[in-house]
A and B are shown apart, each in its own frame.
Chain A
């Protein structure tokens, strides 16, 4: 009797496991089709690249701001995270063709450069800080910014860090 019940349970679990996997795969691919069916054309595929990159940047931006606002994070970890962001932005930018999106990606890149400059300055690495700040100024000037002075960029980035870290509850120390 006990053996029969154990066999019954085992077979039920095997069926449930296989069924869950199949059901999950079927419904998630259905959701993907539903999500994208109206944009299944060359323009839609082009839009997807910008859409995907901007969503990633938005989430990464909140993560970066939270790390910069968290006093427990070491400068090395902050730099590592910002460099990862920079890498992702530059890789993603290559796939985007929309000029308006390019400018916004440049703004994001410039802000990340300015953040790196501030992290280096806080760690006492002034030459590295100056190099990053110059890159930030050149990138943001290209994006049409009217005031690219170091003081203004610092003030703007500090305000952005505060805002983005507040939006991300995990970033609250």
Chain B
């Protein structure tokens, strides 16, 4: 009985300390790894989309921007993406780019819908931007993209 007590006390106290330390390390590493992965995926996708907007034709640029909005919506459901304001800001800017593409294509009602989506997205990060201000941004983006659009 005495031997059991002699062995049990250090073993149990080691076990307790170990579980607490292991729990903390596992939580920190796994949580940190998930955040790194989430950031890399969002940034990687975003950079490829930007490259497509600069280099590709309108249809491919539109397809990649729509792909990014859907990808970002899925990412935002991840636990590691909770509170990721950069992701939401990128999503808002993507809606503005989409609005610019639709404005250039003459689809003004769709452009307006994208501006409203951008406004809602920016609101989620605490930035209340007026529709007029967003329309100015869209005109600016469209103006920068106009020389790249081939004459029809």
Would you give the 0/1 interface string for B7-41, flagging 1 where the beta carbon is closer than 8 Å to chain A? 10011111111111111111101110010011011
Nearest residue (CB) in A for B13 is: A12
A146 CA / B11 CA spacing, docked (Å): 69
Verify A31–B18 contact, CB threshold 8 A: no
Q: How large, as a class, is the contact surface on chain A? A: 35 or more
- Assess whether A80 is interfacial by the CB under 8 Å rule: no
A108 CA / B47 CA spacing, docked (Å): 11
- Assess whether A90 is interfacial by the CB under 8 Å rule: no
Would you give the 0/1 interface string for A44-61, flagging 1 where the beta carbon is closer than 8 Å to chain B? 100100111011011101
Verify A108–B48 contact, CB threshold 8 A: yes
- Assess whether A72 is interfacial by the CB under 8 Å rule: no
How many chain B residues touch the partner (CB < 8 A)? 57
A61 CA / B18 CA spacing, docked (Å): 38
Interface of B is mostly: helix
Verify A11–B14 contact, CB threshold 8 A: yes
A-B CB pair tally, cutoff 8 Å: 186
Which chain B residues in 102-121 approach chain A with CB under 8 Å?
A: none
Which chain A residues in 25-79 approach chain B with CB under 8 Å?
A: 25-28, 30-32, 34-39, 44, 47, 50-52, 54-55, 57-59, 61
A72 CA / B150 CA spacing, docked (Å): 43
Verify B18–A19 contact, CB threshold 8 A: yes
Nearest residue (CB) in A for B38 is: A55
Verify A47–B74 contact, CB threshold 8 A: yes
Stretch at the interface among A93-101, A115-123, A130-138: A93-101
Specify which of B13, B29, B64 is in contact with A28 (CB 8 Å cutoff): B29
Nearest residue (CB) in A for B69 is: A100
- Assess whether A2 is interfacial by the CB under 8 Å rule: no
A55 CA / B6 CA spacing, docked (Å): 51
- Assess whether B78 is interfacial by the CB under 8 Å rule: yes
Nearest residue (CB) in A for B23 is: A23
- Assess whether B51 is interfacial by the CB under 8 Å rule: yes
| Chain B residues packing against A (C-beta within 8 Å) | 6-7, 10-27, 29-31, 34, 37-38, 40-41, 43-45, 47-49, 51-52, 55-57, 59-61, 63-64, 66-68, 70-71, 74-75, 77-80, 148, 150
10 contacts between A and B (CB under 8 A): A14-B11, A19-B16, A21-B18, A26-B22, A28-B27, A57-B44, A58-B47, A59-B44, A145-B55, A147-B55
| Chain A residues packing against B (C-beta within 8 Å) | 4, 7-9, 11-28, 30-32, 34-39, 44, 47, 50-52, 54-55, 57-59, 61, 98-101, 103-104, 107-108, 140, 143-147, 156, 160
